[in-house]
């Protein structure tokens, strides 16, 4: 599906630009974006190095155990196939707590770490496991309690009450996460992992 989406986006773009007499946009856009992608990767590198370094401190100090106590029941329910003491579970818990606090850029490194650990439990390494799909559902719909970035943005644009959207955001994020998890369960059966 990703193959068709990716190929389709590029082909549609070329056709649309051509039809509108804008074909010269394509070449410049392609190379500008490629350059942008590398700078995004570099900023990801710095963020990842920082948060993974920090996670190690959290792990070694035993603070991870305190965080785990709070989120464990939810994580065990969502990811029954991941062994409870496996490093994958630690990374999943860190990813979930970063998401809840609205620390999006901290959630990504923990999320990738969790994927790497879950991949070690995967018997068909080219194909996503049920747990991975559920994990992606949680992350694409991003369960957030405090939308830190948006609050900061509202404050910066002169809002009289930047935090007033916390309530509505929690409702919307809860609905999107619930629906994502629900459809994850429904589609999982239709879309069984081969073998």
Residues 105-134 that bind other proteins (CB under 8 A): 108-109, 111-113, 115-116, 118-119, 125-128, 132-133
List the structure tokens of 127: 């194909």
Short-list 143, 161, 136, 141, CA closest to 151: 161
Window 57 to 86, contacts with other proteins (CB under 8 A): 57-63
C-alpha 129/C-alpha 126 separation (Å) is 10
Smallest distance from other proteins to CB 94, Å: 11
Of the candidate spans 68-76, 82-90, 160-168, the one that interacts with other proteins by CB under 8 A turns out to be 160-168
Smallest distance from other proteins to CB 89, Å: 17
Of the candidate spans 68-76, 77-85, 144-152, the one that interacts with other proteins by CB under 8 A turns out to be 144-152
List the structure tokens of 101: 């606090």
Window 24 to 53, contacts with other proteins (CB under 8 A): 25-26, 29-30, 32-34, 36-38, 40-42, 44-45, 48-53
C-alpha 95/C-alpha 112 separation (Å) is 9
Chain centroid to CA 12: 27
């Amino acid at each position: 599906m990703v193959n068709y989406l990716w190929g389709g986006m590029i082909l549609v773009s070329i056709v649309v630009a051509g039809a509108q007499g804008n074909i010269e946009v394509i070449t410049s856009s392609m190379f500008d974006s490629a350059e942008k992608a590398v700078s995004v990767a570099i900023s990801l590198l710095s963020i990842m190095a920082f948060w993974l370094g920090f996670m190690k401190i959290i792990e070694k100090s035993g603070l991870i155990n305190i965080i785990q106590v709070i989120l464990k029941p939810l994580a065990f329910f969502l990811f029954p196939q991941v062994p409870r003491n496996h490093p994958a579970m630690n990374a999943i818990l860190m990813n979930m707590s970063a998401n809840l606090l609205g620390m999006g850029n901290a959630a990504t490194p923990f999320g990738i770490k969790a994927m790497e650990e879950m991949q070690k439990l995967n018997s068909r390494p080219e194909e996503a496991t049920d747990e991975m799909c559920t994990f992606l559902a949680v992350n694409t719909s991003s369960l957030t309690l405090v939308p830190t970035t948006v609050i900061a943005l509202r404050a910066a644009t002169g809002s009289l009450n930047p935090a007033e959207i916390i309530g509505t955001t929690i409702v919307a994020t809860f609905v999107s996460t619930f629906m994502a998890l629900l459809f994850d369960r429904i589609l999982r059966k239709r879309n069984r992992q081969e073998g």
